[in-house]
Structure 1
């Protein structure tokens, strides 16, 4: 098989790429990387010296593509299915890329910081991170007032980013009850077949998530 994804089943950024691969129906091999193993770190380092996953390796071209958003752009260009995750219309595509960056920077980043503080037993600035998440929730709620998907009439790169970001963030800072659009959007995301497959595959690993007790029972 030409494509191999180097990833970890708990990683939100890896989930984002897996969703795109399943949306496209793209055939690929999986290589789980355990960063605690020096041999596996060396394997990943050979592809991307920063030793960060996900990385997609394409033997046919050949090349290695790092960074989740760039990987999805690459898939849309070279390995797309019937649909596209980045619209052809430039203005809509710009909004898709904006909201992709929004979820990575303002939902995944504070979520990841809270998780890292728990892993390393650090006293982080939880108030600041949770405030940022609540601000992001409010902006998402406003954006979804007249939309089914976050940035485009169709499911897009931005929704690939939103899915794992909101899944994990909601275990740390629950969505406000009065954010009806956000809550409904999350339900649409978790019912999407591609994301359902990602969550199903992640189930055996959820016990290793530092806030595993906060994952709703329906996902375990």
Structure 2
């Protein structure tokens, strides 16, 4: 096998890369990393000293590729499938990259801050973080009024980022009932076979998530 993914099935950023891999049926080996295990942590740190997953190892090209967006672009370039994650058109590609960063920074970001504070006991301004999520939800609601996927009619890198970000964000701040476009978009995401597969594989690990009680029963 040419590719090995170092990841954990519960981690939202790992979900993002898994969705891209499943979209195109890309073959890869799995190396689940438990950061609580010294040997696993040392193995990951030897590959990527910042000790963050996911990391993709390309055995054929002798390259280790970190960072979710970079991994997906790398796959698009060297292991392309029928579902292109970055459009060929420059302007369309820039739009996809913008909304990819949006979900990583302004949905995943506040959600992760709240989760980490809960896990570690460190203080954070949860009102401030939830206000960021409210603003992000409002922007998504407006944008999805005129499109099926985040950047038009084709599933892309931006949607890979959106699925796990929204899934976990909803556990710390539910979507407003009046945001029908946001809710419809989320339903399209979780019905996507690649996303469904990722969530199904996460089920055995959901009990480890600090807000597991807020995950809807249908995903358990």
- Secondary structure of the structure 2 residue equivalent to 1:56: strand
Whole-angstrom distance in 1 between the partners of 2:94 and 2:141: 20
Tell me what 1:137 maps to: 137
| DSSP-derived class of the 1:95 partner | helix
Correspondence 1:69-84 to 2 at 5 A: 69-84=69-84
Q: Aligned partners of 1:211, 1:22: CA distance in 2, in Å? A: 26
How far apart in 1 are the matches of 2:89 and 2:52? 32
What is aligned with 1:23? 23
Q: Deviations over 1:164-186 (max 9, x none)?
A: 00000001100001111000000
What root-mean-square deviation, in Å, do the aligned CA atoms of Structure 1 and Structure 2 show?
Answer: 0.7
Q: Does 1:98 align with 2:91?
A: no
SS in 2 for 1:86: coil
Question: Where do residues 112-131 of structure 1 align in structure 2 (5 Å cutoff)?
Answer: 112-131=112-131
1:153, CA displacement in angstroms?
2.0
Gaps of 5+ in 2: none
Question: Is 1:85 paired with 2:92?
Answer: no
TM-score normalised per structure 2: 0.99
Preserved contact between residue 92 and residue 152 of structure 1 (Cα < 8 Å): no
Structure-2 residue corresponding to 1:213: 213
Q: Is the 8 A contact 1:84 1:156 kept in 2?
A: yes
Find runs of 4+ consecutive structure 1 residues off by over 3 angstroms. Answer: none
- TM-score scaled by structure 1? 0.99
Cα distance in structure 2, aligned partners of 1:98 and 1:148: 17
Match of 1:47 in 2: 47
Please state whether the residue corresponding to 1:57 is helix, strand or coil: strand
Please give the alpha-carbon distance, in whole angstroms, between the structure 2 residues aligned to 1:124 and 1:26. Answer: 39
Q: Separation in 1 of the partners of 2:45 and 2:117?
A: 25
- Stretch deviating more after TM superposition (37-46 or 7-16): 37-46
The alignment partner of 1:190 has SS state of helix
The question of whether the paired residues in 2 share the 8 Å contact of 1:96 and 1:152 is answered with no
Q: CA deviation at 1:83?
A: 2.0
* Cross-structure match for 1:154: 154
Q: How many residues align?
A: 220
